[in-house]
Amino acid sequence: MANRMSKKMMGITGAGIAVVFTLLLAFVAVQYTAMDARAQEQQQQENANNAKGVERIELSVIGNATQKIRPDMASISVGVEVQEKTAGEAARKNAEIMSSVIEAIKATGIREEQISTNYYSVYPVYEPRSKAEVCIAIYPPPPECLEQVLVGYKAVNSITVNVELDKAQDIGKVIDAAVNAGANQVYGISFFISQESLDVVRASLLDKAARDARSKAESVAIALNLNVVGVKSVSIMDGYYPVPIYSALRVDAAQAATPIVPPSEQSVSASVQVIFWLE
């Protein structure tokens, strides 16, 4: 009885597998039929063109689009440089001052995630000294009269602060707060457009770039007494990147509030490369 039941189940299982396999073959056959139909259609079109003596020509065109956008971000780079007799003393003093600088910057409304360290180093400082008194009278002193003497260690720590211009975060106040708290280096400011703002105009720029490519292709086709009949391929170029605007800045801790005026607009561009078919 058990053997008959087992054989019966095996028979049912085998039938199920056969049905699935048959459906799979049917699906593959449909797919190949569709592919063959498209291939035949393309071949028929090419044969018709050949019969008419028409030859397709490839035309590669680059379409460009540019848009003016007001920068909504600024990047400020400030630092602390300290020189002491020992490396440990220089590092400790630098850390104390930089901690005060960061807290002062936060007090202006800057969030912690807007601040990042971009450089830190502790290194020895040497000065040339004369080896003997007899060499003092010789100018310039020859190399054998000089020796490099260790005079201390310098600790350098610089941070970058990203300021959101559209949220009323005053650049001048951030710089003044940093300098008043002990920052003795202000390396400059760069204005740029945030990724969020770029994404807003991305579709528009790519649309304009594609239309520009089409317009150029049609102009060439008309000049050659041809027609644009299709597109072979499309590729987006390097992207839509703005060029940051840099501004060097010197700040005196004793001066009045530092005035910073962002640039009015900045150009953002996009490019696409399209290969057209001409007949």
Cα 276 from Cα 213, distance rounded (Å): 9
- pLDDT confidence tier of residue 219, bands split at 50, 70 and 90: very high
DSSP assignment string, 12-24 = HHHHHHHHHHHHH
Q: Mean per-residue pLDDT for 139-151?
A: 77
Instruction: Please state whether beta strands 73-84 and 115-130 pair in parallel, antiparallel, or not at all (unpaired).
Output: unpaired
Whole-number average pLDDT of the chain:
79
Greatest mean pLDDT among 91-100, 183-192, 199-208: 91-100
* Helical residues (DSSP H) of the chain, grouped into ranges: 2-51, 87-106, 171-180, 195-223
- Residue tagged 């000089």 (tokens): 146
Sheet containing strand 245-247, edge to edge, reads 115-130, 146-164, 73-84, 185-192, 245-247
* pLDDT value at residue 104: 96
* Torsion sign over Cα 40, 41, 44, 50: negative
What end-to-end distance do the CA atoms of the chain give, in Å? 77
Q: What tens digit of pLDDT does each residue of 33-79 get?
A: 554 555 566 556 555 555 555 578 999 999 999 988 888 888 999 99
Identify the weakest region by mean pLDDT among 59-68, 142-151, 153-162: 142-151
Cα 80 from Cα 155, distance rounded (Å): 8
Cβ distance 49 to 64 under 8 Å?
Answer: no
Reference 82, options 105, 102, 101, 98; nearest CA is 98
Instruction: Please state whether beta strands 57-69 and 73-84 pair in parallel, antiparallel, or not at all (unpaired).
Output: unpaired
Which domains does the chain show, CATH number per domain? 57-69+196-278 (3.30.110.170), 74-192 (3.30.70.2970)
Name the 3-class secondary structure at 75. strand
Compute φ and ψ for 150, nearest 5 degrees: -70, 120
Work out the number of other CB atoms within 10 angstroms of the CB of residue 229: 15
Q: What tens digit of pLDDT does each residue of 226-250 get?
A: 999 999 999 998 665 555 666 555 5
Cα 66 from Cα 271, distance rounded (Å): 9
